Copies of this chain bind each other. A is one copy, B any other.
Amino acid sequence: MKIITVSREFGSGGREIGKRLADELGFTYYDKEIISKIVKENRFDDILDKDVENDIPLSFGRTFATLSFFRNSAVNMIVSEQKIIRAIAKRGENFVIVGRSADAILKRYKPCNIFVYADMQSKIKRCKKRLEKHETLTERDIERKIKQVDSARRKHRDLISTDKWGDRKNYHLCINTTGLDIKGVVPSVAEYAKNYFQQKKL
């Protein structure tokens, strides 16, 4: 089974890379929205019915702060997500998954882990293009939003693993999309992943 995980800075085009990679390689595509939908619709009832505490990842409970945080519903959501992600992997199909610290959750399957990033100006520009017509965010607002989202991603990751979000050691390939059109970048990433799976005999 071949798995590609894509982690990314907000606004770096990581999700587009993930989607295009899935298309190019003929893999199934998953991201936050798709997984949240599965969780909300209780589509994996048999898996989610089990006692949530049985599946608490190792990094929980290390400090008093995380212990108290553990009791709130956001954490239950994270644990449900983890179960869904593991259940997806158990199906055995090849897939690309964007976000959700899937690289840490799926470690045992030796996924090809990609990190996508860019400089702030480039991320702001990309976000501006995606704004709906009625949205009137200034560049400063967008920058604040980018920092908030990435900070949340960093924290999400800290709850699941001691390997830090964005630290290149945890990824096989880190791609800087500053000033680049995503479409042109994808073939080289697909090529990298193909060689990775071949060499790792996956």
Known: A173-B174, A174-B173. A179 touches B195 (CB 8 A): no
Q: How far is the CA of A195 from the CA of B175 in the complex (A)?
A: 13
Contact of A176 with B by CB under 8 A = yes
Known: A174-B174, A175-B173, A188-B191. A180 touches B196 (CB 8 A): yes
Contact B179 A200 (CB under 8 A): yes
Q: List 5 A-B contacts (CB under 8 A).
A: A168-B168, A171-B174, A172-B178, A173-B173, A188-B189
Instruction: Give the size range of A's interface with the partner.
Output: 20 to 34
Contact of A185 with B by CB under 8 A = yes
- When all copies of this chain in the complex are counted, the total is 2
Contact A192 B188 (CB under 8 A): yes
Contact of A73 with B by CB under 8 A = no
Residues of A participating in the B interface, judged by any CB pair closer than 8 Å? 115, 117, 119, 166, 168-169, 171-176, 178-181, 184-185, 187-189, 191-192, 195-196, 198-200
Contact B199 A181 (CB under 8 A): yes
Contacting residues, chain B, for A174 (C-beta < 8 A): 168, 171, 173-174
Q: How far is the CA of A191 from the CA of B119 in the complex (A)?
A: 22
Question: In whole Å, how far is A189's beta carbon from the nearest beta carbon of chain B?
Answer: 7
